[in-house]
Amino acid sequence: MDMDADEAGATGTPAGGSPAAGLDRRERDILALERRGFPGPGAKERAIREELGLSPVRYYQLLNALLDDTRALAHDPVTVNRLRRVRDSRRSER
């Protein structure tokens, strides 16, 4: 099975060189979408559907699992730690 350039480490990390190399394209795309700002209500959900081809419910399920993945933390620690803080504060409000 051949890997394309994106899977082989286009993130600047050689394939197999770190845990982040194990993230697939969809996982990296989810983190990239979370780094972006959105202008108004519905814009993020629209981007989730159009750019990732996922329902918002499925997107948030995948994102939540990704936040507990050490590979995601190694790939984008700023975004993952920010989202973990948001998730933890929402959980403590319940």
In a domain, 4, yes or no: no
Domain that holds residue 63: 26-93
Report how many domains make up the chain. Answer: 1
In a domain, 9, yes or no: no
CB 66 within 8 A of CB 59: no
> How far apart (Å, rounded) are the C-alpha atoms in residues 79 and 72?
9
In a domain, 16, yes or no: no
pLDDT digits (tens, 9 = 90+) for 30-82: 999 999 989 988 999 999 999 999 999 999 999 999 999 999 999 999 999 99
Tell me the pTM.
0.74
Neighbours of 90 (CB within 10 A): 9
- Confidence tier at 21 by pLDDT (50, 70, 90): low
Each residue of 30-50: b (16+ CB within 10 Å) or e? bbebbeeeeeeeeebeeebee
Residues with Cβ within 8 Å of 14's Cβ and at least 6 positions away in sequence, in order, are 21
In a domain, 21, yes or no: no
